[in-house]
Structure 1
Amino acid sequence: MTAGSAAPEAEAARFQQQFAEAREAVGRVIVGQQRVVEAVLTAVFCGGNVLLEGVPGLGKTELVKALSRVLDLQFRRIQFTPDLMP
């Protein structure tokens, strides 16, 4: 093993730890949706996008609120109702 290969391994281990901590923190708020939490976290960390669809009451907004608190991000809710559409 070369000296240069330790840094990426340490960085990967640190990322895994941060991902696990974020997943656990969000999991305390969003119970029983581990796959959804992991998928959304993966998309956020990769710079991707997520479209959350579902009937009212499934916790979509609460999931995003929890993520914004855990990751120290800004949260703003926008309601796409027909009266707000162009």
Structure 2
Amino acid sequence: MNLQTPNPYISLEEAGKLTREVHPLPNDIQQLLEVNSLEKEYQKRPAYQKNDYIRWITQAKREETRQKRINQMLDELTSGDRYMKMNY
């Protein structure tokens, strides 16, 4: 049996430590991480950050807002020292 979380970048061990639901990683975001070579940067983040980014992005009501949030996440992963506009 192959157990995994709905987000392939969050391990079962990490998921067990989260106090909230693990949000599935949408295919388009996974592809953007791959195309922009940011999978390793995303993987380095703590589980709560990976999960919060996805929740925040997927809860956007408008596509424009969703895209803005995706771009912010990608920018923050690229810089490596920001999380939700705060120093990390």
Q: Which structure features the higher share of strand residues? A: 2
Q: Structure 1 length normalisation: TM-score?
A: 0.29
Structure with greater helix percent: 1
